[in-house]
Amino acid sequence: MTAQTVAGAPTAPLLDFDDAVAAYEPVFGLETHVELSTRSKMFCGCATTFGAEPNTQVCPVCLGLPGSLPVANRAAVEATIRIGLALHCTIAPWCRFARKNYFYPDMPKNFQISQYDEPLCTDGYLDVEVDDRVFRIGIERVHLEEDTGKSLHVGGATGRIHGADYSLVDYNRAGIPLVEIVTKPVTGTGRLAPAVARAYVTELREVMRALGVSDVRMEQGSLRCDVNLSLHPVGSTTWGTRSETKNVNSLRSVERAVRYEIQRQAAVLHAGGRVVQETRHFHEDSGVTTPGRSKEQAEDYRYFPEPDLVPLAPDAAWVEELRATLPELPLDRRRRLRDAWGVSATEMQAALNAGAVDLIEATVAAGAPPRDAYKWWMGELARRANESGRELAELPITPADVAALCELVASGRLTDKLARDVLDGVLAGEGTPHEVVAARGLEVVSDDAALQRAVDDAIAAHPDVAEKIRGGKVAAAGVLVGAVMKSTGGRADAAKVRDLILRTLGTNS
């Protein structure tokens, strides 16, 4: 086994990943924070619009001014119960909010209203698929709390507090409802641990989207992840000491953070050292984690029941009403679509990762054969989205356009090559596929007389080639096909042209 280091980063020795998972079994857990997209905050009536002028969406309650009193947001409680139900949790018939005391500049009250030993939802699961295997991820708890404000560090190169000239605080986010979803320890994933962790967050995001409870934009911080992970020797039943990596803010980072911690901890253990229980920070740029503060224990927060709020006691009839509002769960939907479209689990996973499932479904609904719809979105369009650094859904083309394109190809009016030219036109804002075909004159030459003329011209221009073909050298026809394709601007069906040339010269093949 060899140790590696990461260049240009605060380095820790790393063990090769394959060696690490051959010797050690990872156990990981994920804590995910989801900002709910309610119109008002958790305990006051302030607006929650993202990107508003700093400190314009605040009031005495979310600023924690003396004498102000919180009132729980019913829509946020409903959303949390629906999340709990979608994750197969038990909904507590009675629970309480708790004060979590700590001092931090972006938290004006010096405590956060959260839930502690009485969470709203407990003991559920979420199934995820990786490599055609289903992993059932246990859900320990789902609870409701309020978000903190946001510090902005000005000056300095990194935007972090170190090296900054001064810091500003924006309290617009303080008090926005936040749902925390905590998994049970995930075991038995071995070398698939990074992929399973990523698949879990992806699936969770899909569930939130289907429920319509959050916009789940990781880049805006409305879905954030902490990853804790430990290793123990393969065959051992005693788990190792875990690290907790904070604020892992993209799906790719979840996968990288798990992988990195496996390699880092394996190197520590392999060298005979001990893993330190600590909080670590993930660096998006270098893909490494570095140590932060040593982990607080629960008692450091001096939790106690929130005295300013009444207990939360959702009655059974209300919970059942909310259960009836649950949509088809994303994994069930993808399994149904997989059968309907005739694609493999891997192909469906690729469509999910590309954000293409809804687009393909809408294209099929607009009349396209599923295979064709899949091919265009996951092939040509995915490539163009990738090249321009955009999401598929951001491309200026609608599912109806793609369905029209499929129809033009299926009816023989466009070849695949011409269809790609039509895509160029649609993406350039020249209109629908039919409008682009008309404006650019891209349609396949379907007029047989016109095609015959083009063939006759090509034969006349290349008498020597024609002679070879008549003499049995059928392979020479390629030259004439090329000439016809050129004279028609690529708007002819090459196979049809070849047939026509051979027939004209009295050769069959």
- Report the interface residues with Zn ion, using CB under 5 A: 44, 46, 59, 61-62
Distance, first Cα to last Cα, the chain: 61
How far from chain centre, in Å, is Cα 211? 16
Q: What's the CA dihedral at 373, 376, 377, 381 to 10 degrees?
A: -160
Residues whose CB is less than 8 angstroms from the CB of residue 481 and which lie 6 or more positions away in sequence, other chains included: 494, 497, 498, 501
- Closer CB to Zn ion, 59 or 427, in the complex: 59
Cα–Cα dist 368/426, whole Å: 17
CA distances from 329 to 82, 118, 208, 209 (A): 12, 27, 10, 10
Q: Report in angstroms how near the CB of residue 229 gets to Zn ion at its nearest.
A: 37
Q: Report in angstroms how near the CB of residue 354 gets to Zn ion at its nearest.
A: 39
- Closer CB to Zn ion, 66 or 389, in the complex: 66
On whether the CB atoms of residues 239 and 228 are closer than 8 A, the answer is no
Q: Report in angstroms how near the CB of residue 63 gets to Zn ion at its nearest.
A: 7
Q: Report in angstroms how near the CB of residue 40 gets to Zn ion at its nearest.
A: 8
- Closer CB to Zn ion, 57 or 230, in the complex: 57
- Closer CB to Zn ion, 129 or 170, in the complex: 170
Q: Report in angstroms how near the CB of residue 59 gets to Zn ion at its nearest.
A: 3
Cα–Cα dist 120/177, whole Å: 14
What letters, b where the CB count within 10 A reaches 16 and e where it falls short, cover 363-395?
bbebebbbebbbbbbbebbbebbeeeeeebeeb
- Closer CB to Zn ion, 26 or 108, in the complex: 108
- Closer CB to Zn ion, 21 or 46, in the complex: 46
- Closer CB to Zn ion, 178 or 500, in the complex: 178
Within 10 angstroms of residue 442's Cβ, the number of other Cβ atoms is 23
Q: Report in angstroms how near the CB of residue 79 gets to Zn ion at its nearest.
A: 19
Q: Report in angstroms how near the CB of residue 68 gets to Zn ion at its nearest.
A: 9
What are the structure tokens assigned to 221, written together?
């911080």
